[in-house]
Amino acid sequence: MARSFKDWWATVPEDLRKKTKGNDDWNTYKPLLNEINYVLMTFNTSGKHSMMPSHEELKQWVTNGEIDVVRMMKK
């Protein structure tokens, strides 16, 4: 069973989570894949591969709507 996005996000160090969110209000918007890619790149370049989600988990998060690929402006 793959982890949920929230379960994985809780394992990301707090300083990296804050840096990734920037000015985005994740209480209003779902996290963007691009924002999550920043965390993945940081883990990859620092050799923390075990902290990265699996391909299946990423696919599940996008497919089931836990994260957004693009931000759609609400009208």
pLDDT for 1-55, tens place per residue? Answer: 689 999 999 999 998 988 887 656 666 677 888 888 899 999 999 999 999 999 9
CA distances from 65 to 3, 21, 61, 70 (A): 14, 18, 6, 11
Asked if the structure places residue 69 within a domain, the reply is: no
H helices of the chain, where? 5-9, 14-21, 33-45, 55-63
Q: Residue 35 is part of which domain span?
A: 5-20+28-63
Asked if the structure places residue 46 within a domain, the reply is: yes
Confidence of residue 60 (pLDDT cuts 50, 70, 90): very high
Asked if the structure places residue 13 within a domain, the reply is: yes
Asked if the structure places residue 71 within a domain, the reply is: no
Calpha distance 26→71 (Å, rounded): 12
Predicted TM-score (pTM) of this structure: 0.79
Domain count, the chain: 1
Query: Which residue matches tokens 């990265």?
Result: 52
